[in-house]
């Protein structure tokens, strides 16, 4: 849809006519500025009818240039279709465990047995896709914690870098306290940009590395209003081959420190979840969507594209063309006068 930002400027369109109509005419020159011995050269160059035709052509070109100039001053613009603009409601950090125990294949995707990290990537990627409007950051931790993606609205980048992560990238042990502390630092640096601060921490073990105690890190998170949702991942029973033959049942999540994870969540106003299989992990992330709902988009925004440069350029080229034609006519007159002077 086309519109004018300042339509009242169009009131200036009749201004040249009003000036010509009401201002007195300039006094005519009584004496010619150029004396020539005869007028036959000028009559050969342009007769009266040709002069009137040229003046009439120039009048319409000048009128068109003035109209374009006034239209440009009125600021024409193209208004696009109404768009939904998502509201950024929170800063959301994801912390994913890459320690060696995440290699345990006690999860399934379809009919395929996969390791814990592969299942986490699949489920967390869908979760990231649904978080439209939130700033999302990614922390990968093992023996050390690394900020893989700072808080950003670019969800595709977060998903790509999550899918590229691999077990052992940050070491074989688990530094839960360091991961929370790193999230606290990044959230604190940008906490004025969002109304809510959330950390979703996923791990399958206990804190066995790092410089910061997990509960001390949770205390720091509580001080800045960072809610921590902890997810303990891993099956409770897994059938494996026995050394003496046959099969036996083991608990692959025996090292999971559920007590500490629960306490971290309670200290920060979050919740602790237990994911024993892929379906359970999916349910947890859907529940997180309910606990931390995505802000509703604001409707009514229409993109506006300024178009004033188009009529302005048209007026400029018309004026430039008239100036060049005037220069050419003056040059022709100069040559004609010179020829008459030489002939006389």
Per-residue pLDDT at 52: 55
Percent of the chain surpassing pLDDT 70: 81
Average of per-residue pLDDT across 2-17? 85
Question: How many Å apart are CA 251 and CA 204, to the nearest integer?
Answer: 12
Q: What is the pLDDT of residues 33-88, one digit of tens each?
A: 545 444 444 444 445 555 555 557 777 888 888 888 888 888 888 877 765 555 55
Minimal CA–CA distance to 87: which of 301, 295, 303, 293? 295
> What pLDDT score does 217 carry?
95
Which residue, 210, 206, 212, is CA-closest to 262? Answer: 206
**5 versus 264: which is more confidently predicted?**
264
Which H or E element spans position 258? helix 258-268
> Which pLDDT tens digit goes with each residue over 265-275?
999 999 999 99
Average pLDDT over residues 182-186: 93
Greater confidence (344 vs 38) lies with: 344
| Span 226-250, pLDDT tens digits | 999 999 998 887 665 666 666 667 7
Residue pLDDT, tens place only, 290-309:
888 876 555 556 777 888 88
Tokens 């991961």 belong to 179
CA atoms within 13 A on the CB side of 12: 13
- pLDDT for residue 44: 46
- Compare 320 and 239 and report the one with higher pLDDT: 320
With 0-12 / 13-18 / 19 or more C-beta atoms within 10 angstroms meaning exposed / middle / buried, residue 42 is middle
Position 45 scores a pLDDT of: 46
- Is pTM beyond 0.95? Reply is no
> For the segment 128-139, what is each residue's pLDDT rounded down to a tens digit?
999 887 889 999
Least confident of 179-193, 305-319, 323-337: 323-337
Q: What is the rounded average pLDDT for all residues in the chain?
A: 82
Closest CA to 205 of 161, 278, 110, 141: 141
β-strand partners of 94: 138, 200
Among 27-31, 147-151, 204-208, 313-317, the least confident range: 27-31
pLDDT at 38: 46
Q: How many CB atoms lie within 10 A of CB 153?
A: 14
Structure tokens belonging to residue 192:
């004025």
pLDDT in tens, 86-98: 555 678 999 999 9
3-class SS of residue 89: coil
């Amino acid at each position: 849809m086309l519109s004018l930002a300042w339509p009242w400027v169009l009131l200036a369109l009749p201004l040249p006519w009003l000036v010509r109509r009401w201002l007195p005419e300039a006094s005519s020159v009584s004496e010619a500025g150029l004396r020539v011995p005869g007028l036959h050269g000028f009559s050969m160059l342009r007769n009266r009818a040709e002069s009137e035709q040229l003046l009439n052509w120039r009048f319409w070109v000048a009128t068109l240039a003035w109209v374009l100039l006034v239209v440009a001053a009125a600021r024409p613009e193209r208004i696009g279709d109404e768009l939904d603009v998502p509201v950024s409601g929170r800063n959301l950090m994801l912390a994913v465990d890459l320690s060696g125990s995440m290699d345990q294949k006690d999860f399934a995707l379809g009919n395929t047995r996969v390791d814990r990290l592969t299942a986490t990537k699949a489920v967390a990627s869908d979760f990231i896709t649904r978080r439209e409007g939130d700033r999302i950051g990614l922390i990968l931790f093992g023996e050390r914690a690394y900020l893989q993606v700072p808080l950003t609205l670019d969800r595709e980048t977060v998903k790509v870098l999550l899918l590229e992560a691999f077990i052992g990238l940050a070491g074989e042990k688990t530094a839960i306290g360091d991961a929370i502390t790193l999230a606290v630092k990044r959230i604190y640096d940008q906490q004025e940009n969002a109304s809510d601060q959330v950390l979703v921490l996923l791990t399958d073990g206990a804190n066995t590395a790092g410089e910061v105690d997990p509960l001390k890190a949770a205390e720091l998170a509580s001080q800045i209003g960072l809610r921590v949702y902890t997810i303990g991942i891993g099956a409770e029973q897994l059938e494996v081959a026995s050394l003496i033959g046959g099969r036996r049942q083991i608990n692959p999540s025996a090292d999971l420190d559920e007590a500490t994870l629960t306490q971290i969540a309670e200290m920060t106003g979050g919740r602790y979840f237990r994911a024993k299989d892929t379906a359970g992990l999916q349910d947890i992330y859907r529940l997180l969507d309910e606990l931390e709902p995505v802000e509703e988009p604001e409707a009514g925004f229409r993109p506006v594209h300024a178009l004033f440069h188009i009529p302005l350029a048209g007026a400029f080229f018309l004026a430039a063309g008239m100036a060049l034609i005037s220069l050419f006519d003056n040059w022709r007159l100069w040559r004609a006068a010179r020829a008459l002077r030489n002939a006389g």
